[in-house]
Amino acid sequence: MTDLAPLSPENTFQIDFNFQQVPSALALDISPEAAAAMLHITSAQFTAYTELAFAECTRTAQTLLDEAGTREAIHKLKTPRAGVPNTIITIGDSITTYRYGYAEILRALLQLQEPPVQFHNHGRSGYTSTHGLEHTFTQYLAQRPDWVFIKYGVNDTKRFGGTQGKLLVSLEEYTANMTQIIDAFLGIDAQIVVLTPTPIVENLVNEAADFQAMNMTWDNADLRACGEVLKAIAATRNISVIDLFSMFTPTPDPSLYVADGLHPGPAGHQLIIKQILSSISDAPR
């Protein structure tokens, strides 16, 4: 990127969280040229930045390969269950789509070892479990995934108009959405790993100018409640659940997050991917 005009912080944030992919309800492929046009940058700038981001994920993945259990977990993900290469998908919100995040590190890990698999990161910034429910039936089930990693809840728990505003998605609707998503994947015999929402760094979120401008807030009590719902659903269906809320704690370390205090940063995602690799090894089926 040294020969290209530098990107603004706004541009890098937009690319990091794949804003250009949000209007993708029709499952249209967003080419680098189209993505760059939407972000008002050149295709060369977009491609150079995304290649640098994935190179960083690959470096993290190479380090993880030296840790106990990583190769065994990747082998388990890649072992064909139907005589053809496995399909693995991640679905969720901006924390899943993040270019330095757990899903992209997982993509890099899968590429570092044979045999090949199909991998699709369906994280979308701003998505709630309601979006996830719709796209499960309109897009994701059609890919017949062998493994699916599911993480919704942070956008569901937005409150607009102050702390007394209603949840964007009520806990009852969240419970119904997540139950139906999980049961749909169980219906095609997919191996499921559910991730609870991560907590927020409350003082950073409350001071973030963008969130203040929208009068938008979060409460860790709401995020904890979503996690408890997921643990209850997982227990009744004998599927893996990763309790990220407890892992980060209700007062998480700000160094594990980006500046907004909402999204875990690279250091936080390295903790997440390690928990995922461990859960694969311990998966019930």
For each successive 10 residues of the chain (285 residues), what is the average pLDDT?
78 82 72 91 95 98 94 94 90 98 98 93 96 96 97 97 94 98 98 98 93 95 98 97 98 97 98 96 67
The residue among 127, 88, 142 whose CA lies nearest residue 280 is: 88
At 141 the pLDDT is 98
At 285 the pLDDT is 57
At 150 the pLDDT is 98
At 211 the pLDDT is 94
At 205 the pLDDT is 95
At 153 the pLDDT is 98
At 24 the pLDDT is 63
Instruction: Write the CA distances from 226 to 30, 50, 146, 281, integer angstroms.
Output: 32, 32, 25, 25
At 20 the pLDDT is 75
Distance CA 43, CA 34 (A): 8
pTM of the predicted protein model = 0.93
At 41 the pLDDT is 94
Instruction: Write the CA distances from 241 to 216, 232, 280, integer angstroms.
Output: 28, 10, 10
Q: Which residue pairs, CB below 8 angstroms and at least 24 apart, start in 79-84?
A: 80/146, 81/146, 81/189, 82/146
Number of H helices, E strands in the chain: 13, 7
Give the residue extent of every domain in the chain.
65-281
Residue 5: partners with Cβ closer than 8 Å, 6 or more residues away = 42, 45
Give domain 65-281's CATH number out of 3.40.50.1110, 3.10.20.600, 3.30.530.20, 3.40.640.10.
Answer: 3.40.50.1110
Distance CA 219, CA 158 (A): 8
At 23 the pLDDT is 63
